[in-house]
Amino acid sequence: MRWPSRAAEGVRAYRLIAGMWIRSTMTYRASFALTVCGNLVLTGLDFVAILLMFSQVDALGGWTLPEVALLYGLSVTAFGIAHLAFGSMASLGGRVRDGSFDTLLVRPAPVLAQVAADRFALRRLGRAVQGAGVLGWALVAVDVDWTVAKVLLLPVTLLCGAVIFGSLFVAGGAFQFLAQDAAEVQNAFTYGGTTLLQYPPSVFGRDLVRGVTFVLPLAFVNWVPAAHLLGRPYPLGLPDGAAFATPLVALVCAVPAGAVWRAGLRSYRSTGS
């Protein structure tokens, strides 16, 4: 089948499955509202920790509270979108272990769409909403010389950040074909990644920043674009236009993640029980 129609088919399957789960969730409206609020509070704790830190200091690694809030908002919103869309992939290992993954293979819909939409949890919207709230406050509070290019950079950054994190979730899903029980390793990259990016790069060791910029380019989710917005030099002396390379970086993440997924799917052997 040609690629565009295959992708369209995947999106259609995703919409149908996610829609079914949303309808099922909405049967218990009060419970849903409560879990969304719970999610908001839970993911907000990270920001409360940052606020507590700033109640004791004026700057962290040379960055002020509104600047750190900008980093936080970009990281958490992008992660929240990716987590909403692909967060279900974390439970793939369970399906491989109990054999129910086999049923996904015989259905006439792309497997990636089925796995990503499996048990689609709208409550995960809480994280993205909370991140967007902090981002909104940060944008009002920071001191930025806004230009047209900088305004356009914002939505592009959020979208590309979501693609970068989404690639991590897809690659993490593929990893579970291999690892099964060791699924938690991917948390170090997904949840660890979004936590790392909530703090300024100047806080971390140079080698860590180098790795997060050039090896696993998470830095393009917020560190590099935020440095450009705020007119701060990026620690590794990247050229000034680097922030605008973000879509390219997102593409460089998404293509290998897709390849890894297909390789993982091909290597799948059923438990047979």
Partner 1 sequence: MGAWRVYPAVAAGSFRRYATYRAATAAGVFTNTVFGLILVYTYLALWEARPGLGGYDQAQAVTYVWLGQALLAMLAVQGGGFESELMERIRTGEIAVDLYRPVDPQWWWLAHDMGRAVFQLLGRGVVPFLFGALFFPAALPGEAAVWGAFLVSLLLAMLVSFAIRYLFALSVFWLLDSQGVAQAVMVTGVFCSGMTLPLNAFPGGLGEVVRALPWAAQLQVPADVLMGETAAPAAYLFQAAWAVALLAAGRLVQSAATRRVVVQGG
Nearest to 199 by CA among 63, 88, 97: 63
Footprint (CB under 8 A) of partner 1, residues 198-257: 199, 202-205, 208
The smaller minimum CB distance to partner 1, of residues 40 and 156, is found at 40
Helices marked H in the chain: 3-25, 29-54, 65-86, 92-98, 101-106, 111-117, 125-141, 148-179, 185-196, 206-210, 223-230, 246-266
56 binds partner 1 (CB under 8 A): yes
Candidates 38, 136, 231, 256: give the one binding partner 1 (CB under 8 A): 38
Nearest to 84 by CA among 119, 122, 110: 122
Stretch binding partner 1 (CB under 8 A), from 58-66, 229-237, 240-248, 259-267: 58-66
Candidates 7, 16, 20, 34: give the one binding partner 1 (CB under 8 A): 34
The smaller minimum CB distance to partner 1, of residues 101 and 175, is found at 175
Cα distances (Å, whole numbers) of residue 12 to 24, 169, 189, 258: 19, 20, 29, 18
The smaller minimum CB distance to partner 1, of residues 52 and 215, is found at 52
Stretch binding partner 1 (CB under 8 A), from 34-42, 111-119, 216-224, 255-263: 34-42
Classify 60 as helix, strand or coil: strand
Stretch binding partner 1 (CB under 8 A), from 11-19, 44-52, 135-143, 237-245: 44-52
Q: How far is the CB of 102 from partner 1 (least distance, A)?
A: 22
Cα distances (Å, whole numbers) of residue 68 to 2, 118, 266: 45, 34, 42
Cβ proximity of 186 and 90 under 8 Å: yes
CA dist 156 and 175 (Å) reads: 28
Write the interaction track for partner 1 spanning residues 155-184; mark x where CB under 8 A is met and - where it is not.
Answer: ------------------------xxxxxx
Phi, psi at residue 205, to the nearest 5°? Answer: -65, 150
Candidates 48, 105, 149, 152: give the one binding partner 1 (CB under 8 A): 48
22 binds partner 1 (CB under 8 A): no
Phi, psi at residue 242, to the nearest 5°? Answer: -55, -35
Binding site for partner 1 (CB under 8 A): 31, 34-35, 38-39, 41-42, 45-46, 48-49, 52-53, 55-61, 179-185, 187-188, 192, 195-196, 199, 202-205, 208
